[in-house]
Amino acid sequence: MRYYTGQHQYYCGVDLHARTMYLCIINQADEILYHREIPTRADAFLEKLAPYREDVVVSVECIFTWYWVADLCTAEGIPFVLGHALYMKAIHGSKTKNDRIDSKKIAKLLRAGMIPMAYVYPKAMRSTRDLLRRRMHFVHQRSNLMIHIQQTNYQYNLPKIGKSLKYKGNREGIAERFSEQSVQKTIEVDLELIAYYDAIIGKLEWHILKSAKAHDATALTILRSIPGIGKILSLVIVYEVQDIRRFSRPQQFASYARLIRPVKESGGKRTGSSNGKIGNAYLKWAFSEAVVLFLRETREAQPYIKRLERKYGKEKAKGILAHRLGRTVYYLLTHHELFDMNKFVNQQQVANNKSPVAGRKGGR
């Protein structure tokens, strides 16, 4: 975890909400200079900050309303620190908790160099990333409709549909399987909604892919050279990573993508694991899906995964492979190289190579 240790004359802690924000401004001597609640407006915020603009830093906890504050501070040339919500225990662990106390604690943590920093995602790519996440929501809604059709089929003990409903041609005659008109109407509504989601998702994917090519076409090409990582998974990885250079080591990237299990130790002994959900859930999903598709599309990797399954079991073997795919993505994006299957499955080369999974340009 990184902490903000910059030294300033003034420190501004903000407890931010949708309609109001509580400001606490202190100086180097820990004296409170301003401590009031104001409307959540850019003009009001800049007005209260004006007397301290010569050397002030602003910090906000990472909640859903932080975008506009970060963009405003960037535009005004004010240093901005985004506090990691899951690590700010000094705020959430108080016996008494309110906006006034929270803003004061943020300011004091900022002054002490103890604000755990979250990544301030750049404005240029942020809206497309959010649109990609929204697409995933629509995909889940469409999947729920398909599941409802299957459950209704089981409810009436009818023969299995036997076809994937994600393909439009397999949906014909599904409603007619049911004898009752009300049930048929329910299925027809589900099918109409599925068709509507298909159209919406298709338009979103076209727009996102067009934006992604403008943002980082090279990364998309590199990622799609990995078997199993196609259009959607490559988009998710590109927009959730944004810039691979913000991770100094592959271990940091693996931790951020939830590909390793955090371990607790005390007195030289392991006491269990926790905080497994700290990290990026979308990257975790992407690599979990990539493992399944990678194994489906590559014969060369079958002996490797069989060795892992014999040694660790089926589920743990998939977790190990997901970790290796994560490290693969890190090295490929760092060195701008394409995937090389031979280096990926050859354990001897993995042991001898500094970047074992990085192939040469022009590889697969």
How far apart, in Å, are the Cα atoms of 107 and each of 30, 98, 355?
9, 14, 42
Name the percent of the chain in helix, strand, coil, to the closest 5.
Answer: 55, 15, 30
For the segment 131-190, what is each residue's pLDDT rounded down to a tens digit? 999 999 999 999 999 999 999 999 999 999 988 898 888 999 899 999 999 999 999 999
The pLDDT of residue 353 is above 60? no
Per-residue confidence at 272, pLDDT binned at 50, 70, 90? low
Superfamily of domain 3-116: Ribonuclease H-like superfamily/Ribonuclease H (3.30.420.10)
d(CA 325, CA 311): 19
The answer to whether the CB of 83 falls within 8 A of the CB of 58 is no
Model confidence, pTM: 0.83
Q: What is the pLDDT, as a whole number, of residue 268?
A: 74
Q: What is the pLDDT, as a whole number, of residue 292?
A: 92
Q: What is the pLDDT, as a whole number, of residue 364?
A: 32
Residue 117 tokens read as: 């920093």
Domain boundaries of the chain, sorted by first residue: 3-116, 125-215, 231-263+277-352
Mean of pLDDT over the chain: 88
For the segment 225-255, what is each residue's pLDDT rounded down to a tens digit? 999 899 999 999 999 999 999 999 999 999 9
Strand bridging mode 115-116 / 3-4: antiparallel
The answer to whether the CB of 286 falls within 8 A of the CB of 233 is yes
For the segment 290-338, what is each residue's pLDDT rounded down to a tens digit? 999 998 888 888 888 888 889 889 889 999 999 999 999 999 999 999 9
Mean pLDDT (whole number) for 268-276: 69
Q: What is the pLDDT, as a whole number, of residue 90?
A: 66
Amino acid in position 262? P
Mean pLDDT (whole number) for 108-113: 92
d(CA 232, CA 209): 9
Per-residue confidence at 44, pLDDT binned at 50, 70, 90? very high
